[in-house]
Amino acid sequence: MDEELRGKVVEVKRVSDRLIIIKLVFGGFMLHVCSVYALQVALEDKVKVRFWESLDEVVRGVPSSENIIIAGDFNGHIGVLPGGYDDVHGGFGFGHRNSEGVALLYFVRSFGLVLVNPSFSKKEDHLITF
């Protein structure tokens, strides 16, 4: 973490091997940063469900007066087109949507969040890296 930001950290909570939350204070502004590494496609459904339940608990635990950023690798494909998720998907995704991508889109919509990366146009040779 950046040296300047270290002094603003008030709490670090490791929820699991795949989810950690860092709480920072900027003056009167509270920010929860969640680092996520979602489950692989080949794992059992019950393990995936537990991951989503844990993330759900984390987001519900953030007071509405505070802010949250969730960043990481969700190991899902949300596809090129918003396909009914125009409120959370900016239309600049990659490839075809899979079940993990649907789960991510559903989660984001459920909490009134937005997927940032597919909200910005990218160069053709950068699509696969985003």
126 has pLDDT over 50: yes
Residue pLDDT, tens place only, 8-36: 999 999 999 899 999 999 888 999 999 99
Residues 6+ apart with CB under 8 A from 104: 38, 74, 76, 78, 115
State residue 67's pLDDT score: 93
Q: How far apart are CA 37 and CA 33, in angstroms?
A: 13
State residue 119's pLDDT score: 60
Task: For residue 51, give the 3-state DSSP assignment.
Answer: helix
- In this prediction, residues 44-66 reach a mean pLDDT of 91
Q: How far apart are CA 55 and CA 61, in angstroms?
A: 10
Residue ranges of domains in the chain = 1-75, 76-130
Give the global pTM. Answer: 0.80
Residue pLDDT, tens place only, 89-125: 776 677 788 888 888 899 999 999 888 876 667 677 6
